[in-house]
Amino acid sequence: MTQSMNTKSRVLVVGAGAIGSFYGAVLASQGAEVSVVCRSEFDVVRDHGFAIESDKLGNQVFRPTQVLRSAEDYQGGSPDYLIVSVKVVEGVDRAALIRSAVGPDTAIVLIENGVEIEAEIAEAFPENELISALAFIQVSRVGPGRVRHHAFGDLSFGNYPSGISDRCRQLANQLKDGGIKSMLSENVVTARWEKCAWNAVFNPISVLGGVLDTDAILSPPEGEALVRQAMREVGDIAAATGHPLRDGLFDQYVDGTRKAPPYKTSMALDYENGRPMEIEVILGNTVRAGRREKVAIPALEALYALMKMVEFRLKKEQG
């Protein structure tokens, strides 16, 4: 059954952190019935909703239809869209987190970082439509139930493994009406590799340099040279997997990052605040794909090895 554009969409967000709550608020502003699974801030969100601060979209309070501790508490049938925006870190079973809320007509939407992350969900729910999405956004939690949208907000998404369905187009239209530009991609796997060329490079460098912001990374010529070398290696891996990246992408990323206000990457913020880092899906999967395809990736290999050293030290300190 295809969701009619005139019917109010029922949306469940699993992982209502900064990104999940932001896009949930956008959909709710367009009349969708948006519910959230929110464990760490459950009481605050249940009582007060999310306070969203945004210069682009304006400040608002997003009050979810249902605030839940787990997906199995979802009431009223199955959602039309189930948005998964949890961090893909060790020990998180995404399929188990959402299984109880997935119905036969539920479209699963992954708004998550990393490459080669879809197969696990596709295998767990082979009969459900799977939409893979990438968020180009600067947004962060600034307090319990409080989210600050700093800049950007565009989404790029399409069906996995390829194509653009009516459900994709309907979701894009709802987001567009809420002020979010959505770029539909016939080949979302290539789009993921394109984003990886930024994420797998800036994120680990920001941590390894001692929580560097983007200005500190790119200002020294040596910093920009390392960024470009690692980006080229990501491009070589993507091409070897059958997803060549478009010409000029690396210049676009470097120039765009330089022009934006200096900011810390999501991985640097996680490191700084003692939260788990998405090392494996952002960098580890990239390196493993390079090894599998027998691509020379010395810069990425070095970044990955150093990040594993940092991870080891953190785990030892945390007991």
pLDDT for the residue numbered 1: 40
Residue after which a domain boundary falls, among 155, 186, 217: 186
- Residue at 36: amino acid letter: V
pLDDT for the residue numbered 5: 41
d(CA 129, CA 109): 9
Residue after which a domain boundary falls, among 148, 170, 186: 186
**What's the CATH number where 129 sits?**
3.40.50.720
Tell me if 84 sits within 8 A of 108, measured CB to CB: yes
Looking at the structure, tell me whether residues 261 and 223 fall in a common domain.
yes
Looking at the structure, tell me whether residues 243 and 297 fall in a common domain.
yes
d(CA 13, CA 147): 15
Looking at the structure, tell me whether residues 215 and 74 fall in a common domain.
no
Beta pairing partners, 132: 110, 158
**Taking Cα atoms as reference points, which of 157, 295, 305 lies closest to residue 236?**
295
- Collapse the DSSP code of 14 into the 3-class scheme (helix H, G, I; strand E, B; otherwise coil) and give the result: strand
- Collapse the DSSP code of 246 into the 3-class scheme (helix H, G, I; strand E, B; otherwise coil) and give the result: coil
Element (H, E) at 12: strand 10-14
CB contact set of 208 (below 8 Å; sequence gap of 6+): 303, 306, 307, 310
pLDDT for the residue numbered 117: 95
- Collapse the DSSP code of 282 into the 3-class scheme (helix H, G, I; strand E, B; otherwise coil) and give the result: helix
Phi, psi of 155 (to 5 degrees): -120, 145
Looking at the structure, tell me whether residues 131 and 250 fall in a common domain.
no
Residue 319 maps to a domain: no
Please count the structural domains in the chain. Answer: 2
Residue 4 maps to a domain: no
Residues counted in the chain: 319
Looking at the structure, tell me whether residues 63 and 177 fall in a common domain.
yes
Residue 3 maps to a domain: no
Phi, psi of 56 (to 5 degrees): -80, -45
Residue after which a domain boundary falls, among 160, 186, 212: 186
Helix, strand and coil in the chain, % to nearest 5? 45, 20, 35
**What's the CATH number where 250 sits?**
1.10.1040.10
Looking at the structure, tell me whether residues 227 and 88 fall in a common domain.
no
Residue 5 maps to a domain: no
| Pairing mode, strands 182-184 and 146-159 | parallel
Q: What is the DSSP track for 197-212?
A: HHHHHHHHHHHHTTS-
- Residue at 158: amino acid letter: G
CB contact set of 246 (below 8 Å; sequence gap of 6+): 194
Tens digit of pLDDT for each residue in 181-210? Answer: 999 999 999 999 999 999 999 999 999 999
Looking at the structure, tell me whether residues 117 and 20 fall in a common domain.
yes
Low-confidence ranges of the chain (pLDDT < 70): 1-7
Looking at the structure, tell me whether residues 301 and 204 fall in a common domain.
yes
Element (H, E) at 13: strand 10-14
Looking at the structure, tell me whether residues 207 and 149 fall in a common domain.
no
Quick one: tokens of 19?
């990104």
Looking at the structure, tell me whether residues 124 and 201 fall in a common domain.
no
* Full residue range of the structural domain in which residue 72 is found: 10-186
Tell me if 267 sits within 8 A of 277, measured CB to CB: yes
pLDDT for the residue numbered 3: 46
Q: In terms of pTM, does the model score above 0.95?
A: no
